[in-house]
Amino acid sequence: MSNKRRLWQIFGPVLCAFILLLVIFLMPWERTFSKDAIYQAANSQTTTIFKGSRMKQNAFDDGYVPFYGSSELSRLDPLHPSVLAEKYHRNYRPFLLGGPGSQSLAQFLGMQGTAKQLKNKKAVVIISPQWFTKIGQDPDAFSLYYSPLQACNFLLGIKKTSVSNRYAAKRFLQMPETKGVIKSGMKTIANGQSLTSTQRFLLENQRRMLNNEDKFFSTFQLRDRIQKINGHAKLLPNTYSIKALDQIAKQQAAINTNSNSFGINNKFYKMRLNKRALAKLKDSQRDFNYTKSVEYSDFELMLHQFAKQHTNVLFIIPPINQKWADYTGLSESMYQKSVNKIKYQLNSQGFDKIEDLSKRGSEKYFMEDTIHIGWRGWVAVDQAVKPFMNQKNEPYNYNMRNYFYTKKWQNKPGMIKTTDKYPAVENRKAALKEK
Amino acid sequence: MNIEKEVLDILQDLTGEDLSERMDEDIFANGLMDSMASVQMLLNLQEKFAIDVPVSEFDRNEWNTPSKIVSKVENSKNE
Amino acid sequence: MNFNFINLQPYTNPQYFVYLMIGLVPIIIGLYHGHRLKIYEVAFSLVFLFLIFDGDKWQQGVNLIIYLLFQLLVSYWYLHYRQNGKNKTWVFYLAVVLAILPLVLVKFQIAFPKAPIPGVLAFLGISYITFKTVQVIMEIRDGAIKELDLSTYLRFLLFFPTFSSGPIDRYRRFAKECNVAPKRDQYLADLEIATRNLFQGFLYKFVLGWFFGTYWLPKISKAALIAGAANGGLKFSWWLVAYMYCYSMYLFFDFAGYSLFAVSISNFMGIHTPVNFNKPFISQNIKEFWNRWHMTLSFWFRDYIYMRFTFFAMKKKLFKNPIRLSQAAYLLLFLTMGFWHGLTWYYIVYGLFHAIAIIINDCWLRYKKKHKEQIPSNKFTKWLAIFVTFNIVCFSFLIFSGFLSELWFGWK
């Protein structure tokens, strides 16, 4: 056998494999997911789904409404929004987006792929004041939610540099995960320049491959919670009644919190709060401060994205388990100040659908554990979600203010009072009336 | 002095088997010899033939059959 | 300054291989035509070494250079001493102690991070360079190495494909190959094996290793911790058993995959780095297992610790009974291996466990030899032996993983 032929036999297959792979990943594949797969994905809360595009796009076209949040979304008890929507055949189904550590910056990045699908539609955001620590987004958690695909979407979606996208690029550069051409693109934007044509070319190819990867593999590691939801739905009364639901919530919570005096879910208590941990946590949160945080500006990025999409958003601000806060020494007045600061940021730009539950942490069975809403808390959430979902879809306009990206705003002490009237809110109300 | 016979004697001491009919069998692969036995063999060879084989020079692949051992010993004697 | 450092840790992701292959092309073409492009090879290796230690890892790089100078000093001093015809035992011991001293300090540093030793910093590859220098000193002592060519020695120590985690080559073997080009027929055969190994490595490390290590292991670990906390006592559960098997598979596929890469890239460069794994899980006993698992490490320990110790002890007649001697030597070998892995209880227990296992195994082999007629040997006993060995090995890896420490004490 000649040497040339031998070489070809050795490297030929490798070469063919690479060419085939490249062709496959650069082809514009289309994929639609089955209804079951979407339903599973909507309730799975996996990072793959969070980071992807196609599944979310498919779902939002199909009547799913994004519920942006964090770890409270995984408190899947019988009163959870997903269970209620299923049981009472609502015209929407929640698409749960977020988990432990998915703060505003991660959420903002995750929102990049679905701007078209959410245009003039609705979204629900559960904002945890716990996000608003001094450094904001935890870099380690960010690594978990960082999606190169969405980073490409973010960069390629920029038509003109603005305060908002320069701020975002700077923040992404502070996170450890941005690499390669994405990193260089972020630097370009952060410096206020536009992407070069080489950068665009590289990013577009990368995006195409990542989009294909997303289409091929996003159903790959779904967590199946459908059985659980169906099981929970059986516990609920057949006709919707707040009173009856509240009764079920109380029953369920009573069984599940009987191991401790905090009203914390037994499993959580046993797993996370052994004697040693409890002793450590006593009075440990005295100095926590959520009023001064870079998170306020990160949060503004999310708002900016909603404004761009003209999305109608319902914001829910949960409380903290009062008994727990007393134990750890977390200051109630500090908490309220941060809530007010958040509300000011929302109201003054026209985001006026806010369900403020932050003062209800002492109601029995309202919380599932330390800081996560559950049982009766979910019933309260539903009383805001239900009417919100009955509204017609229509474009919403907001008055965005770059002031919220400044250090000055980040470090402003929390407001004690918020006035009820804001020009932006009033203007829009007036505009709507004219219609 | 018959080198082959002496070597086979040493090996018989160590393995308990007569290897005179199995000169080309891999005595490590079939479990007759191990590292410990090789060290003993090296020491015995040193005593019997007054040759110096340091452990560094002991490469299993060059010492793994009785005939290879015999030729190794013959070579060292001739050096 | 806003300079963007590219930092590449060897074989960690598929892109790495793209860069590597581009760099290898001139070497491959050269070797194919019978030329070894030594200067290019050195430049290529230095670039990839630089990429390991640049950016925020530069301090490691500085330590590597200081460490190398120190090792060269020790090796050449000892070589010079031996070339003068002197051969005192204490000088030999001193040379060995000096050669392993940096590694010992680093191991202490890792075990007790709260008590920093000034100037000591672990860097990638220190363990494996130490294996090479100690080996050279021992062979200088034996007179097997009489000359050390500086450039060959440096290329041996810094040989880039095996730099981070082996396989551990031998100086004399390496020196024979590294200055010549292989024959074309031989090289074509090498390329064929190298390509196959490379792809087998992909399958092992990036597919199977990923499934076991990244996909399943964290889930099993979580479940085992929860079930353990719920069961109380020694915190055992079936999840722990699952963890044991899953971790063992991960360890094998990850490390065997890495080793295949290292051997493959060596082969592309015309160097026959010894293989590290040879179907370890079909071993019928622990002794055979160590001839098949992480082979270059176990052979290193066999040749430079076990055999040397038994040779010395037998010559000095330290032990009357050769069985006791071999048992002592096994303990020495495996405890050293345990300490080498790190100064933590589970590494040391892992070493002890294997020492005891191999001692028991030796007893059994002797008993079997004596009672050849009574003990059946057939297909069934063969599979039974494989099954038992496999489970003992997996159990030892459970110890090695440190998961028990996490389960019981909450730290690893």
* Same domain assignment for residues C90 and C194: no
Would you tell me which residues 169-228 of chain C have a C-beta closer than 8 angstroms to some C-beta of chain A? 184, 188, 191-192, 195, 199, 215, 226
What number is the average pLDDT over the span B9-16?
Answer: 89
**Interface touch B58/C365, C-beta < 8 Å:** no
Residue C15: how many CB atoms within 10 A of its CB? 10
Q: Is C306 on the interface with B (CB under 8 A)?
A: yes
The domain containing residue C361 runs over which residues? Answer: 187-409
Considering only CA atoms, give the Rg of chain B.
11
- Residue B27 sits in a domain whose CATH number is 1.10.1200.10
Q: Per-residue pLDDT averaged across A341-348, rounded?
A: 94
Q: Do C117 and C109 contact (CB within 8 A), yes or no?
A: yes
Q: Looking at the domain assignment, is residue C9 inside a domain?
A: no
Those chains having 3 or more beta-carbon pairs within 8 angstroms of chain C are A, B
Q: Which of C144, C302, C325 sits opposite B54 (nearest CB)?
A: C144
The C residues from 120 to 159 touching B (CB cutoff 8 Å) are 138-139, 142-145
* Mean pLDDT across chain C: 93
Q: Domain of residue B44: give its range.
A: 3-78
Q: Are C220 and C342 within one domain?
A: yes
> Cα separations (Å) of A344 from A69, A334, A421, A423?
20, 15, 10, 12
Q: Judge whether A381 and A375 are in contact, CB under 8 Å.
A: no
At residue C176, the pLDDT reads 94
Q: What is the pLDDT of residue C1?
A: 31
Which of C158, C181, C204 is the last residue in one of the domains? C181
Distance CA C404, CA C412 (A): 8
Q: Does B16 touch chain C (CB under 8 A)?
A: yes
- pLDDT for A275 beyond 90: no
Chain segment C33-80, per-residue pLDDT in tens: 999 999 999 999 999 999 888 878 888 899 999 999 999 999 999 999
Contacts of C310 in chain B (CB under 8 A): 35-36, 39
| pLDDT tier, A218 (very low <50, low <70, confident <90, very high otherwise) | confident
pLDDT bucket at A428, cuts 50 / 70 / 90 = low
CB-CB contact of C202 with C265 (8 Å): no
Does the pLDDT at position C269 exceed 60?
yes
Split at pLDDT 50, 70, 90, the class of C2 is very low
The chains in contact with chain A, meaning 3 or more Cβ pairs closer than 8 Å, are C
The mean pLDDT of C353-378, rounded to a whole number, is 92
Rounded Cα distance between A71 and C373, Å, is 67
For residue A89, give the DSSP letter: T
Same domain, C163 and C246: no
Name, in order, each residue with C-beta under 8 angstroms of C205's C-beta and a sequence gap of 6 or more. C11, C253, C254, C257, C258, C260, C261
The answer to whether residue C117 neighbours chain B at the CB level (below 8 Å) is: no
Which residues lie closer than 8 Å to A309 by C-beta, 6 or more apart? A115, A118, A119, A120, A121
User: Would the CB atoms of B54 and C303 count as touching at under 8 Å?
Assistant: no
Pick B55's closest partner by Cβ from C145, C307, C365.
C307
pLDDT at A420 (0 to 100)? 52
Burial class (CB in 10 A: 0-12, 13-18, 19+), C234: exposed
Rounded to whole angstroms, how far apart are CA atoms B70 and C201? 41
Q: Would you state the pLDDT for residue A396?
A: 93
pLDDT digits over C208-231, tens only?
999 999 989 999 999 999 888 888
Q: Is the pLDDT of residue A412 over 50?
A: yes
Cβ burial of B50 (10 Å; 0-12, 13-18, 19+) is: exposed
Is the peptide bond prior to A129 cis by the omega test (within 30 degrees of 0)?
no
CATH 3.40.50.1110 fits A36-51+58-138+224-434, yes or no: yes
Q: How many domains does chain C have?
A: 2
Q: What is the pLDDT of residue A417?
A: 59
Q: Do B40 and C139 touch (CB under 8 A)?
A: no
From residue A361, alpha-carbon distances to A73, A100, A338, C136 in Å are 17, 20, 15, 70
ipTM (interface pTM): 0.89
Domain edge (last residue) among C149, C181, C213: C181
Tell me the backbone φ, ψ of residue C409, rounded to 5 degrees. Answer: -115, -10
pLDDT score, position A426:
62
Domain boundary among C126, C158, C181: C181
Question: Does B57 sit within 8 Å of C314, measured CB to CB?
Answer: no
Q: Are residues C216 and C146 part of one domain? A: no
Residue C272 in contact with partner chain B when CB distance is under 8 A: no
Q: Do C138 and B34 touch (CB under 8 A)?
A: no
Residue C7 lies inside a defined structural domain of this protein: no
- Report the alpha-carbon distance of residue A361 to residue C13 in Å, rounded: 47
Instruction: Clarify whether residues C229 and C177 are in a common domain.
Output: no
Question: Which residue, A74, A41, A36, is CA-closest to A57?
Answer: A41
Helices (H), A261-415: 266-272, 275-281, 295-309, 322-328, 332-347, 375-390, 407-410
**Span C108-124, mean pLDDT?**
85
| pLDDT at residue C303 is higher than 80 | yes
Residue C31 lies in a domain: yes
Give the DSSP letter string of A391-410: SPP--------GGGGSHHHH
User: Mean per-residue pLDDT for C237-243?
Assistant: 95
Within 8 A of A9 by CB-CB distance, chain C residues are 192
Output the six-digit token pair for B18. 């007569």
Q: Decide if pLDDT at B2 tops 70.
A: yes
Q: In this structure, are residues C52 and C166 in contact, taking their beta carbons and an 8 Å threshold? A: no
- DSSP tag of C145: -
C89 touches chain A (CB under 8 A): no
Query: Predicted confidence band at C118 (pLDDT cuts at 50, 70, 90)?
Result: confident
Kind plus residue range of the DSSP H or E element containing C373: none
The answer to whether residue A425 scores a pLDDT higher than 70 is no
pLDDT score, position A434 = 55
Task: Give the mean pLDDT of A334-348.
Answer: 94
Q: Do chains C and B touch (3 or more CB pairs under 8 A)?
A: yes
In 3D, which of A317, A316, A328, A334 has the Cα closest to residue A262? A328
* C143/B54 CB distance under 8 A: yes
| C341 assigned to active site | yes
d(CA C133, CA C122): 17
Residues B44 and B12: beta-carbon distance below 8 Å: no
Q: Which of C35, C341, C354, C371 is catalytic?
A: C341
Joined tokens for residue C53: 């230690």
User: For residue A211, what are the β-bridge partners?
Assistant: none
- Claim to verify: residue C314 and residue C198 sit in the same structural domain: yes
pLDDT confidence tier of residue A223, bands split at 50, 70 and 90: confident
Q: Nearest by CB to B55, which of C303, C325, C326?
A: C303
Nearest to A3 among C184, C229, C230 (CB): C184
Q: Which of A354-368, A386-400, B5-19 has the lowest mean pLDDT?
A: B5-19
Q: Tell whether the model's pLDDT for residue B54 goes beyond 90.
A: no
Is C298 found in the same domain as C243? yes
The encoded tokens of residue C261 equal 């890469």
Shortest distance, CA C2 to any CA of chain A (angstroms): 10
| pLDDT at residue C3 greater than cutoff 80 | no
Tell me: the pLDDT tens digits for A146-188? Answer: 999 999 999 999 999 999 999 999 999 999 888 889 999 999 9
Interchain CB contact of B15 with C (< 8 Å):
no
User: Of A373, A93, A381, A60, which is closest to residue A229 (Cα–Cα)?
Assistant: A93
Tell me how far apart the alpha carbons of residues C163 and C169 are, in angstroms, rounded to a whole number.
Answer: 11
Q: Is A123 left (phi over 0), alpha (psi -120 to 50) or beta?
A: beta
Strand partners, A317: A356
Indicate if C75 and C162 belong to the same structural domain. Answer: yes
Nearest residue in chain C measured CA to CA from B56: C139
Residues C170 and C280 in one domain: no
> What are the counts of helices (DSSP H) followed by strands (DSSP E) for chain B?
3, 0
Based on its alpha-carbon atoms, the radius of gyration of chain C, rounded to whole angstroms, reads 23
Residue C1 located in a structural domain:
no
pLDDT exceeds cutoff 70 at A422: no
Point out the residue among B40, B43, B56 whose CB comes nearest to the CB of C139. B56
Provide mean pLDDT across the span C86-113.
93
Query: Mean pLDDT for chain A?
Result: 91
Mean pLDDT computed over A89-112: 95
C303 in contact with chain B, both atoms CB, cutoff 8 A: yes
Residue from the list A9, A183, A271 with its beta carbon closest to the beta carbon of C4: A183
Backbone phi and psi for residue C269, each to the nearest 5 degrees, phi listed first: -90, 10
